[in-house]
């Protein structure tokens, strides 16, 4: 066991794993080892699930207003430790400090939504559905729920899941990414500090073996997942095969449509940030810009704006974004850039040889811009997950809509235009779950739901918002009629309850 191996939260206690070969967690800008992460043993996984099951048995009967009051304490602690969480997150992901703070804050917004759980759990009622018979429904918790979260948002995405699941009355097991586990651990420490009961939240670390345990264990009722398409498909199929409720948010290829009547400066400024921000490691990043008609003449100015963006370390106030998460991620992106060139795309700006002063070992890729991209090319078909933007040119809005609708992904899209008619036509006909109008990355606030379509989402109920409450609960419908043997029956009966 390495000395700086981070612990796991099992049965309300932070425990060192019996794992014999923990893996290093490195700073993506320096390759410095920040800690080691264990892979939970089968015994530790079983202990976490058993503890979560026991905690649920008591927590389910805690009134929703009481759950909400503890959640209010938690969201206050998250706000109090906001910058501390952001610094931990920045160091292990490489995000700039400003970007890391945004990651934390978007998670806090979901915890705030969880504080509203009493009203979100209200059922339905209808009086006198038949003579002297009433029908009403309750939303009741499922039991043990689990979350499998990715590296790119180690605060926001765990907070998408466990606050709402727990506020609904469930217990929760979090299996965060093994690439940046320190932020989720700190979230769990603050959760304990808020005063939640022992065992309600478990944090275990690991990879596929640990995930498969959660997917197949009979005591786990629901699985929430965010990650790649291949892993998401495995999670969805395996979870469903074992009769679990599953929501799996997966890959994306997000397009921005630029109409000739749009504000050019707004388009360029928004497009630069939406494509290379967070090093392009966002499932809602804009990776394809579709220029309609004369708007294509703006591409040279877009190139100039992208060339001014320089990556850097998390505490560099001038840095536009940070490094990629790992050397392997960098090599994959560089490989796709090379493939784009070989397949005939024109590389207007090449970030393959990016160097950041004083950080020679960082996983750097500079802003990269392609033109003359076609739907058959690998850089169009694959989610690059790097600071790479493809541009395409079409003659009409309907041609742009057809292009996007032919994509197998449907996570997010946007249109920049001054025409209300064009915007409404776009939002009505586009086959994508989240649509922005003059907004480049249309991630909704938590009182709505995150609603990817097609191969960007497997499942029925989406993340956070009212749909997440439905996902983490079962509906129980009661049909009631009451008799009193001592009363006369019929419409003229007299009732005296004194």
Fold agreement between 6-249+451-476 and 252-407+411-435: no
* pLDDT higher than 60, residue 363: yes
Q: Provide the pLDDT confidence category of residue 496 given band limits of 50, 70 and 90.
A: low
**CA–CA gap between residue 487 and residue 474 (Å, rounded):** 37
Question: Looking at residues 188-208, what average pLDDT do you find?
Answer: 98
* pLDDT higher than 90, residue 282: yes
pLDDT of residue 388: 98
**CA–CA gap between residue 204 and residue 40 (Å, rounded):** 6
* pLDDT higher than 70, residue 492: no
Q: Which of 278, 339, 365, 266 is nearest to 314 (CA)?
A: 278
Which of the two residues, 417 and 2, has the higher pLDDT score? 417
In tens, the pLDDT along 80-105 reads 999 999 999 999 999 999 999 999 99
266: number of Cβ within 10 Å: 12
pLDDT of residue 493: 53
- Say which CATH architecture domain 252-407+411-435 belongs to: 3-Layer(aba) Sandwich (3.40)
**CA–CA gap between residue 123 and residue 119 (Å, rounded):** 9
In tens, the pLDDT along 217-240 reads 999 999 999 999 999 999 999 999
Angle at 465 between CA 463 and CA 469, to 5 degrees: 80
Task: Decide: 161 and 174 in contact? Cβ < 8 Å.
Answer: yes
List phi, psi (to 5°) of 208: -65, -40
Structure tokens at 267: 């388009």
pLDDT of residue 117: 98
Domain assignments of the chain as residue spans, ordered by start? 6-249+451-476, 252-407+411-435
pLDDT of residue 485: 76
CATH number of the domain at 6-249+451-476, out of 3.40.50.300, 3.20.20.70, 3.30.950.10, 3.40.605.10? 3.40.605.10
Active site residues: 283
Residue 392 Rama label (left phi>0; alpha psi -120 to 50; beta): beta
* pLDDT higher than 80, residue 123: yes
Question: Looking at residues 268-286, what average pLDDT do you find?
Answer: 98
Q: Provide the pLDDT confidence category of residue 484 given band limits of 50, 70 and 90.
A: confident
**CA–CA gap between residue 68 and residue 74 (Å, rounded):** 10
* pLDDT higher than 80, residue 486: no
Question: Looking at residues 385-389, what average pLDDT do you find?
Answer: 98
């Amino acid at each position: 066991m390495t000395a700086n191996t981070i612990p796991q939260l099992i049965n309300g206690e932070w425990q060192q794993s019996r794992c014999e070969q923990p893996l290093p967690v490195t700073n993506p800008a320096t390759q410095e080892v920040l800690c080691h992460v264990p892979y939970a043993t089968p015994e530790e996984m079983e202990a976490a699930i058993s503890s979560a099951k026991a905690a649920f048995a008591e927590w389910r009967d805690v009134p929703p207003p009481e759950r909400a009051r503890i959640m209010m304490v938690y969201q206050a602690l998250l706000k109090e430790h906001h910058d501390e969480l952001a610094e931990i997150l920045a160091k292990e992901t490489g995000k700039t400090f400003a970007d890391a703070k945004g990651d934390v804050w978007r998670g806090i917004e979901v915890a705030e939504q969880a504080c509203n759980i009493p009203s979100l759990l209200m059922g339905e009622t209808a009086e006198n559905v038949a003579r002297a018979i009433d029908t009403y429904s309750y939303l009741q918790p499922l039991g043990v729920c689990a979350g499998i979260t990715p590296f790119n948002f180690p605060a926001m995405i765990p907070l998408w899941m466990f606050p709402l699941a727990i506020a609904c009355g469930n217990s929760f097991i979090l299996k965060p990414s093994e690439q940046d586990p320190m932020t989720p651990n700190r979230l769990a420490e603050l959760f304990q500090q808020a005063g939640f009961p022992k065992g309600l939240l478990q944090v275990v670390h690991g990879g596929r073996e640990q995930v498969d345990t959660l997917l197949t264990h009979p005591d786990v009722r629901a699985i929430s997942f965010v990650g790649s398409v291949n892993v998401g498909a495995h999670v969805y199929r395996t979870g469903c095969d074992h009769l679990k409720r599953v929501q799996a948010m997966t890959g994306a290829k997000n397009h921005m449509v630029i109409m000739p009547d749009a504000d050019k400066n707004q388009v360029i400024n928004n497009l630069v940030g939406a494509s290379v921000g967070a090093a392009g490691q966002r499932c809602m990043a804009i990776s394809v810009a579709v220029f309609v008609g004369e708007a294509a003449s703006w591409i040279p100015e877009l190139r100039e704006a992208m060339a001014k963006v320089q990556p850097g370390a998390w505490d560099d106030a001038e840095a536009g974004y940070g490094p990629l998460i790992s050397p392997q991620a960098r090599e994959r992106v560089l490989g796709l850039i090379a493939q784009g060139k070989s397949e005939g795309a024109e590389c207007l700006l090449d970030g393959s040889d990016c160097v950041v002063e004083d950080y020679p070992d960082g996983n750097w890729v500079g802003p990269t811009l392609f033109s003359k991209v076609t739907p058959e090319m690998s850089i169009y078909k694959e989610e690059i997950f790097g600071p790479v933007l493809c541009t395409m040119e079409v003659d009409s809005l309907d041609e742009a809509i057809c292009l996007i609708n032919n994509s197998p992904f449907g996570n997010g899209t946007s249109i920049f235009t001054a025409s209300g008619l064009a915007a409404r036509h776009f939002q009505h006909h586009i086959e994508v779950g989240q649509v922005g109008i003059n907004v480049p990355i249309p991630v909704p606030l938590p009182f709505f739901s995150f609603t990817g379509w097609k191969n960007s989402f497997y499942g029925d109920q989406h993340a956070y918002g009212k749909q997440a409450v439905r996902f983490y609960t079962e509906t129980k419908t009661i049909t009631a009629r009451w008799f009193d043997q001592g009363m006369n029956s019929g419409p003229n009966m007299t009732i005296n309850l004194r």
